[in-house]
Amino acid sequence: MRPDRPSTDDEDLARVALRMGLVDADALRAALAAPSDRGLLDRLQAAGRLSGEQAELCRRAHAFTTFRAQDLRDAEPLVRQHAVPDEAVRRLLEYQKQRFLKVGERLSLVDLLRREQLLPEQTPPSAPRPTPAARPAAEVDPGDADPAAARARDGFVDPTIVVTEDRLQAIITRPAHGRLSPRAIRRQLEHRHIQFGVVDDATLWRWCAGDAPTLVVAQGAAAEPSIDGYVEYHFDTAPLQMGTARDDGTLDFAEKGEVPVVPADTLL
């Protein structure tokens, strides 16, 4: 038996489809009013108003709305506590949305922020990590207090950057195991004093999230040949302070500490 009014899911899907511009309002009203036991998207497909790909995109967009609302509630306390920049949050939210809509991947904002080391690698306050039992001092791992060791345990690795022999390119290679973060790459570039022709943050982030094996992280410019310079010599000798004239016609300025000897017939 068909319900008297469309289901809540159908109404939500109708709003999503309309907002995304997949169908017009008249087609939606007709599909919602048509007597059928099938869902709204199936009815639109049967009427030729929606393709299978568009229907799947609409379902993902509808699911993403629910996912995003809960994800923001989970991330908001940590974002405020650690003063994460708004621009970084907006960029990661857009990436999260694209991955969800394109391939259905559910990436939480907290995980994305930790991947870029904008949040500490620890359990959120809402779900505290159980306190481990005390261990004898002799069994304590020295790496427990080492930030680099902590990053390694959490799957992050320090980047390795190679500079070519002509010093015009700095190339980073993806490690066989572990993850990289743009902030770690930036720190390594600063440590190596690589500062010219460095790629922007968006390029770094896309490369870290992708699977390309290498990235030219900095690109210099070769020196260009210039025009040969020349030097003009100006002898500023006050009037009546001529050098000593010799019998061979040369002028001797040695006494004045300037030019020791000027050959004959030389224009001063």
List beta partners, residue 252: 244, 261
User: In tens digits, what is the pLDDT along the chain, a chain of 268 residues?
Assistant: 344 444 556 667 767 776 777 677 777 677 667 666 667 777 776 777 777 777 777 777 778 888 888 888 888 888 888 888 888 888 989 998 888 878 788 888 888 888 888 888 764 455 555 655 554 444 444 444 455 554 555 556 777 888 888 888 888 888 877 777 888 888 888 888 887 788 888 888 888 888 888 888 888 777 666 666 555 555 555 544 556 677 776 666 665 555 555 566 665 5
Task: From residue 76, give the alpha-carbon distance in Å to each of 79, 108, 112.
Answer: 5, 12, 13
Residue 30 is which amino acid? A
Residues 6+ apart with CB under 8 A from 153: 143
Residues 6+ apart with CB under 8 A from 16: 58, 61, 62, 65
Per-residue pLDDT at 185:
84
Classify the C-alpha dihedral 253-255-260-263 as positive or negative: positive
Sequence spans of domains, the chain: 8-115, 161-219
Per-residue pLDDT at 57:
76
